[in-house]
A and B are shown apart, each in its own frame.
Chain A
Amino acid sequence: MTKRMMLAMLALVGVFLSIYLTLYKLGYIGSLQCAVGSCETVNTSRWATFLGLPVAAWGLGFYVSALALSLLGVQEQYEDRRWVSVALTGLTGWGVLFSGWLTYLELFVINAICMWCVISAVIVAIMFAISLADLRDFRAADASQHPAAISEPMADG
């Protein structure tokens, strides 16, 4: 299991999580009610929309992009492309900043914690860590270029 495969799987989990939260926000799933520690306060607060779209929909876009990128990065033609790792690190880096800001709002402004949003924030943080590690593998490979190159002919043959 390569790091990009792990990223793809985490992104896929995130896709479903954000589909759930988006449908919830749009009123297709569940019913509106206020319960202690639930997502209602968070998902009905004025911070639940960003630039006209539900925050959960932005999350969905993020996870779909990350899934597409990491699936691409798993394909043989792209396995050794460094830009995929750079893009994944950049994307998940933004994800960490955005969900960090949202978690801050939950804790200190809205004063309510939505469990699903916290799970999403944790997934994004793990994805960022894996992307960084993936990117670092390229550096390591650059440093020890020759051993890698020597095993190459066998691999292609």
Chain B
Amino acid sequence: MAKDRVDTGRGRRAEVVKKKAKGGSNSKKPFYAGIAVIVLAGIGALAYVSSRPQNAATTVDPNLATATDARGYVLGNPNAPVKVIEFADFECPACAQFATLSEPDIKKRLIDAGIISYTFHDFPLSIHRNTWQASNAAACADEQGKFWEMHDQLFNMQDRWNGQATRNPKAQFESYARALGLNMDQWETCYDARKYEARIKASEALALKSGAGQTPTFVIGTKMVPGSISFDKFKAYVDSALALAPRDSAAKGAAPGDTAAKAAAPAKGS
């Protein structure tokens, strides 16, 4: 009999045996209480992050862009009632998502319709290895009047030239430049010389100064909106900016297009 008991004890750990001696399942109460606390905290945290408003907009000074020498790339009528700025990184997947899903509608229904002017500012993030080169390639395409075409190419083909795909994106950029019918000698000289480095840096500085913490970030009228957003959301911000626009210009007693025209002029000339 005694021998049997010794056998059942084989391999049993002292720790466990001690626990059992103290009184069975009672000692597990704190454990299950802890499990319950973690479950509640986990569910609470998940509920919180899923209910948190996405892309909360903040109010900013709409004229911040005119205060610096960052000119960006302007699309649409510079005298349009609502000015929109985009801070974007060519290698950012969210920016590519926005450029391919929302931007075509925005171009057709808001920019071409003369409702907004649209200024693209480079915001190359340091986490992306090839994004600066992409900004460089686009700036050199702009020299030949093909910035937006290159912009579309870069976002469409992002997974071919991004930092995960290659360490030397120039060959890819070259093929896009060729497809766009650019003067290749001129483009390549510009690209190798980093001719528009100062222009890209100025846009980056403006992005940092404006407090944009991620890409893409939009300034629509007086609202700063972070993150890739749908056309409908974008349009809603434009509509509220539109509702405010006439009152603003009346209070200032100045034509709303004045400052934007100044900012756009150099971009047009280049």
- Listed in ascending order, the chain A residues whose CB lies under 8 Å from chain B are 1-2, 5, 8-9, 12-13, 15-16, 19-20, 23, 28-38, 40-41, 44-46, 74, 76, 79-80, 82, 109-112, 137-138, 140-142, 144-156
Q: Which of B27-35, B146-154, B178-186 makes up part of the contact surface?
A: B27-35
Residue of chain A at shortest CB distance from B1: A153
CA A148 – CA B20 in complex, angstroms?
12
Partner of A141 from B6, B12, B35 at Cβ < 8 Å: B12
Can you report 20 A-B residue pairs in the complex whose CB atoms are below 8 A from each other? A5-B28, A8-B35, A12-B38, A16-B38, A23-B46, A32-B97, A33-B227, A34-B92, A34-B214, A34-B216, A36-B127, A40-B93, A44-B93, A79-B16, A110-B163, A138-B13, A145-B9, A148-B9, A152-B6, A155-B21
| Given known contacts A1-B31, A151-B21, A34 and B14 CB-to-CB distance under 8 angstroms | no
Which residues of chain B in 219-240 are interfacial with respect to chain A, using CB atoms and an 8 Å cutoff?
226-229
Contact (Cβ within 8 A) B6 A2: no
Contacts of B125 in A (CB 8 A): 34, 36
Question: Are the CB atoms of A31 and B55 closer together than 8 Å?
Answer: yes
Of A40, A148, A151, most buried by chain B (CB within 10 Å of CB) is: A148
A sample of 16 more A-B contacts (CB under 8 A), given A16-B38, A30-B54, is A5-B31, A9-B31, A15-B42, A16-B43, A16-B45, A29-B49, A31-B94, A33-B214, A33-B226, A34-B93, A35-B213, A36-B127, A40-B93, A151-B9, A155-B21, A156-B20
Residue of B nearest to A147 (CB): B14
A30–B49 CA distance with the chains assembled, in angstroms: 7
On chain A, the residues within 8 Å of B163 by CB distance are: 110-111
Known: A30-B49, A33-B94. A9 touches B13 (CB 8 A): no
Task: Give chain B residues whose Cβ lies under 8 Å from the Cβ of A41.
Answer: 93, 127-128
Q: Is the interface of B mostly helix, strand, loop or mixed?
A: helix
A13 to B43, CA, bound (A): 11
CB distance from B145 to the nearest CB of A (A): 28
Q: Which residues of A contact B9 (CB under 8 A)?
A: 145, 148-152
Chain A contacts for B108, CB-based, 8 A: none
Number of A-B contacts (CB under 8 A): 155
CB atoms of A152 and B12 under 8 A apart? yes
Bound state CA distance, A84 and B218, in angstroms? 54
Asked whether B42 lies within 8 Å of A13 as measured between CB atoms, the reply is yes
Would you call B19 an interface residue if the criterion is a C-beta within 8 Å of the partner chain's C-beta atoms? yes
Contact of B95 with A by CB under 8 A = yes
Within 8 Å of chain A (Cβ to Cβ): is B129?
yes
Contact A80 B11 (CB under 8 A): yes
Rounded to whole angstroms, the CA-CA distance of A15 and B41 in the bound complex is: 12
**Cα-based distance from A82 to B25 in the complex (angstroms):** 20
| B15 interface residue (CB < 8 Å to A) | yes
User: A74 contacts which chain B residues (CB < 8 A)?
Assistant: 28, 31
A152 CA to B10 CA in the complex, in Å?
A: 10
B89 adjacent to chain A (CB < 8 Å): yes
Chain B positions 81 through 110: 1 when the CB is less than 8 Å from some CB of chain A, otherwise 0 = 000000001001111010000000000000
Q: Is the CB of B13 within 8 A of A148?
A: yes
Pick from B19, B34, B50, B126: contact of A2, CB under 8 Å: B19
